[in-house]
Structure 1
Amino acid sequence: MSTCTALIIPADLNEPARMESIDAGLDNLQTLVEGNIEAVSGDDWHFYLNEEGKIRGLDPNRRAALLVLEATGALFDVYCGNVVVLGETPDGDEGDVPEHLIDLAQQLFGLRETTP
């Protein structure tokens, strides 16, 4: 079990995106995305979402899509449901979300910092 700083982006636009210290274990990630997880990866980051989000009719996550588009220059899918963004350590373990994604998210849609 590892504790990491995550960027949590709810699909519901009425809920603020936030930075939060989380347990990055499978059970907690599944709780945060409300189901089995699917991973989407970038260079030094990845995010998790509900693997059945489209099938279950979860709301599209427009903020997560915007973040991916701005970070990578491409968008290959529609992401549905809540998204949890983490970083990657050099050995491939879960790590804190990279600063450049935090800065980008702040510029695009603002963030709220939560306290444990």
Structure 2
Amino acid sequence: MNQLLNALVIPARLNHPVHIRPLQLDAASRQRVAAGEVAVLAGKDWRAYLSNESGRTFHNVRAEVLLREAGVDVESTIHGTVTFLGQAEPWEETDAPRHLIRLAEQLFDMPLAA
């Protein structure tokens, strides 16, 4: 499946801004964004794709905060860039949900949507 979706991207490095970006949805693009092996955390209507390789990547404090505020009990440290997409049906992805984008805007005090 190759389709273009708007993803909410939370980089681990604090000097890189949280942003919305079009993402060509395929396995290779998920791995490029997450910088390696991909793990998935899921909420009610979204999924977060993240790196499964903690040794090579930076701790992502912003993603941890967003995940906790979105209701996910984060049990381990989150590393690397985290990419959020929406979920319509089981394993059918959509654009990142507006409520998650608004939450990120509030938490990080930055406008993301045009």
Q: Same fold by TM (over 0.5)?
A: yes
**2:7 is matched with which residue?**
6
Given the superposition, is the C-alpha separation of residues 78 and 42 from structure 1 closer, same or farther in structure 2, using an over 3 Å criterion? Answer: same
Q: Please report how far the alpha carbon of residue 75 of structure 1 lies from its aligned counterpart in structure 2 after TM superposition.
A: 2.6
- Measured in 1, the distance between the counterparts of 2:75 and 2:82 equals 16
Give the alignment's TM-score, normalised by structure 1. Answer: 0.88
Q: Deviations over 1:8-63 (max 9, x none)?
A: 110000000000111121101111111121111111111111111x133x211011
**1:96 is matched with which residue?**
95
Contact 1:9 1:18 in 2 (8 A): yes
- Measured in 1, the distance between the counterparts of 2:51 and 2:37 equals 6
**1:55 is matched with which residue?**
55
Q: Please report how far the alpha carbon of residue 77 of structure 1 lies from its aligned counterpart in structure 2 after TM superposition.
A: 2.0
Give the alignment's TM-score, normalised by structure 2. Answer: 0.89
Where does 1:59-70 land on structure 2 (aligned, <5 Å)? 59-70=58-69
1:16 pairs with 2:21: no
Aligned length: 112
- Which of the pair has the greater relative contact order for Cα pairs under 8 Å at 6+ separation? 1
Matched-pair identity in %: 34
Unaligned runs of 5+ in 2: none
